[in-house]
């Protein structure tokens, strides 16, 4: 049975919610729009699609966010929808109920809303017991919803352009601090009446986040929704975005929303689509998502071309024809004829047949990036210096000559390097850092900066520019004491940070359970930071021993050979820490 709504053109002020500012009448443009909306919306069917599988039952109807409230809210702020922001405000509270129902929002859920507008959908989500993070580019709408929901501890709004925001960082931060009562709540949801002009960008950003979101429910243009969910092979509507959607999710067209339900009225109808996101472990088996989507995009760039032509820059025609044959496809295949599974087979076969020369070139490229860092070259020279010290054991000869010459050469790499730690010294500490750790960190920066500055005076003396040898030797010893002190401070800082990380990891384990903890991105990230901190602690301890040996405070126990061994090991750790990471897979 269709749902019918009869609308009058008179605004009943008693139905306007108390959070709105009631000063002034509607501007003529808004009043005219409201009257027009009322006339053409009289006795309309909200759900024109008669297919039961594309209907969503309405939830409890809200009287606080009907069309009267939305128009009155905009008028009270003197706001008019901005075309540049793609703003079309929902005038029917039933649609908001159905959006929440499509996402199966329940108490305890964490929901991301993009473009909250006047907060009509936000109100529905909060009433269902969900916590809501809203993001809006319009500062006026941000102020409006912030004022409206000021009394709720389950609502937060950010003034950002969603397409340019670091949404993954935001979500991980909020989920980390949230007290989850059940592992099922670990994944958040997205429910949003999107500005139509950013819908494609939003879909591309959200769908690869199956480790953060379980469901993404969006209100899109009807034609765009149909193209995303029900594309037909061998048609112009079949595009790379369809491969992306099915790679990362299971899409479903829920129901159509007539254009009469929006202010201002768009030129097209809208539709609600649900994307049930796949967890990363359930993605199609490809060696690299970056190379996979690079292949897909390359294929569709020459849409009417056969794949053996459009993919020639990735592989030779014979190799492409062979891969097509292995995938059970004709050698004359075109991109619009291939399903997701076909592209996966084609990609994997081409990757297996890629030449070893290309892999070697990629590895050499990473090596060039590494060697182009002055810091990396310094650490390599440091390894040579202390390796020579270990071999010479303080005895005259070639090894000792290498030790001394390399030590002098390294001082050139460190020219003006003290500025780095000087900058860190005067920079604010990260928020939430305990005072003892903050003081130790600043002490480390001060001592290391002093060491590097005094070390340059030692270099000037060895080159003959600075003539006072006795003072230079004294400054050299002072600089080594500063280095030893900074190493001690670093060790204490790393110990403190490891303790904080350990407590955070234990808390997260209780929240998500031990069973799936290694599948949780937050857990893996914390574990990686813990390993990095542990390695830094070991290196700082070794550097303390090296400084102790160079100062000859216990020459019988910490011999030149011991100093060289610890210095060489510490240098190898430094070289490892500076290694460039392989590029992360990204979708295009």
Q: Would you list which residues are annotated within the binding site for S-adenosyl-L-methionine? A: 88, 90, 115, 136, 161, 193
Output the known binding site.
88, 90, 115, 136, 161, 193
Q: Please, are residues 292 and 347 in contact by the beta-carbon 8 Å criterion?
A: yes
| Alpha helices for 393-468 (secondary structure H) | 398-413, 418-426, 435-462
Q: Please, are residues 22 and 16 in contact by the beta-carbon 8 Å criterion?
A: yes
Closest CA relative to residue 141, chosen from 117, 119, 109, 169: 117
441-477 exposure pattern, b = at least 16 Cβ within 10 A, e = fewer: bbbbbbbbbbbbbbbbbbbebeeeebeeeeebeebbe
Give the N- to C-terminal CA distance of the chain in Å, as an integer: 43
Angstrom distance (rounded) from CA 156 to CA 111: 11
Angstrom distance (rounded) from CA 469 to CA 474: 9
Q: Residue 432: what are its φ and ψ, rounded to 5°?
A: 90, 0
Helix (H) / strand (E) containing 531:
helix 521-550
Bin 328: left if φ > 0, else alpha if -120 < ψ < 50, else beta. Answer: left
From the CB of residue 478, how many other CB atoms can be counted at a distance below 10 Å? 14
Helix (H) / strand (E) containing 6:
none
Angstrom distance (rounded) from CA 61 to CA 45: 16
Closest CA relative to residue 247, chosen from 283, 220, 217, 296: 283
Task: Name the 3-class secondary structure at 219.
Answer: strand
From the CB of residue 497, how many other CB atoms can be counted at a distance below 10 Å? 20
Tokens describing residue 153: 């501890």
């Amino acid at each position: 049975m269709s749902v019918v709504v009869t609308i009058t053109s008179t605004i009943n002020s008693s139905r306007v919610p108390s959070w709105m500012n009631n000063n002034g009448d509607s501007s003529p443009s808004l009043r005219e729009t409201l009257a027009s909306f009322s006339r053409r919306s009289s006795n309309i069917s909200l759900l024109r699609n008669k297919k039961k599988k594309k209907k969503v039952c309405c939830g409890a109807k809200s009287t606080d966010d009907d069309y009267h409230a939305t128009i009155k809210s905009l008028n009270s702020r003197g706001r008019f929808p901005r075309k540049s922001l793609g703003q079309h405000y929902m005038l029917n509270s039933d649609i908001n109920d159905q959006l929440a129902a499509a996402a199966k929002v329940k108490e305890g859920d964490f929901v991301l809303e993009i473009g909250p507008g006047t907060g009509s959908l936000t109100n529905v989500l909060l009433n269902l017991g969900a916590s809501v993070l809203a993001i809006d580019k319009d500062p006026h709408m941000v102020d409006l919803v912030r004022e409206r929901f000021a009394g709720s501890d389950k609502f937060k709004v950010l003034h950002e352009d969603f397409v340019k925001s670091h949404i993954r960082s935001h979500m991980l931060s909020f989920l980390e601090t949230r007290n989850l009562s059940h592992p099922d709540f670990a994944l958040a949801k997205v429910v949003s009446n999107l500005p139509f002009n950013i819908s494609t960008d939003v879909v591309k950003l959200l769908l690869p986040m199956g480790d953060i979101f379980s469901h993404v429910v969006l209100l899109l243009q009807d034609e765009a929704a149909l193209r995303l969910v029900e594309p037909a092979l061998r048609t112009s509507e079949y595009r790379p975005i369809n491969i992306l959607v099915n790679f990362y999710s299971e899409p479903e067209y829920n129901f159509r929303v007539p254009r009469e339900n929006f202010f201002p009225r768009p030129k097209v109808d809208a539709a609600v689509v649900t994307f049930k996101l796949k967890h990363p472990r359930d993605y199609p088996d490809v060696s690299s998502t970056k190379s996979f989507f690079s292949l897909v995009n390359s294929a569709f760039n020459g849409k009417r071309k056969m794949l053996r032509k459009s993919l020639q820059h990735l592989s030779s025609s014979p190799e492409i024809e062979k891969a097509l044959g292995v995938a059970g496809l004709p050698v004359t295949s075109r991109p619009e004829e291939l399903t997701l599974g076909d592209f996966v087979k084609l990609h994997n076969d081409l990757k297996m047949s890629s030449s070893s020369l290309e892999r070697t070139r990629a590895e050499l490229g990473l090596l060039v990036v590494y060697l182009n860092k002055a810091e990396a070259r310094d650490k390599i020279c440091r390894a040579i210096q202390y390796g020579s010290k270990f071999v010479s054991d303080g005895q005259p000869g070639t090894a000792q000559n290498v030790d001394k010459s390399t030590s002098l050469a390294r001082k050139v790499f460190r020219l003006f390097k003290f500025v780095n730690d000087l900058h860190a010294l005067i920079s604010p500490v990260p928020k939430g850092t305990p005072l003892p750790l903050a003081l130790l960190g600043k002490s480390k920066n001060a001592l290391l900066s002093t060491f590097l500055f005094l070390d340059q005076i030692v270099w000037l003396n060895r080159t003959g520019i600075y003539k006072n040898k006795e003072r230079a030797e004294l400054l050299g010893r002072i600089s080594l004491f500063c280095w030893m002190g900074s190493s001690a401070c670093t060790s204490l800082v790393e110990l403190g940070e490891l303790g904080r990380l350990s407590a955070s990891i234990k808390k997260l384990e209780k929240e998500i359970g031990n069973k799936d903890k290694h599948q949780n991105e937050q857990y893996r990230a914390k574990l990686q930071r813990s390993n990095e901190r542990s390695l830094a602690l070991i290196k700082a301890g070794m550097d303390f021993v090296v400084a102790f040996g160079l100062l000859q405070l216990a020459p019988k126990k910490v011999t030149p050979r011991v100093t060289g061994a610890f210095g060489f090991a510490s240098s190898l750790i430094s070289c490892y820490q500076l290694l460039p990471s392989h590029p992360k897979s990204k979708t295009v």
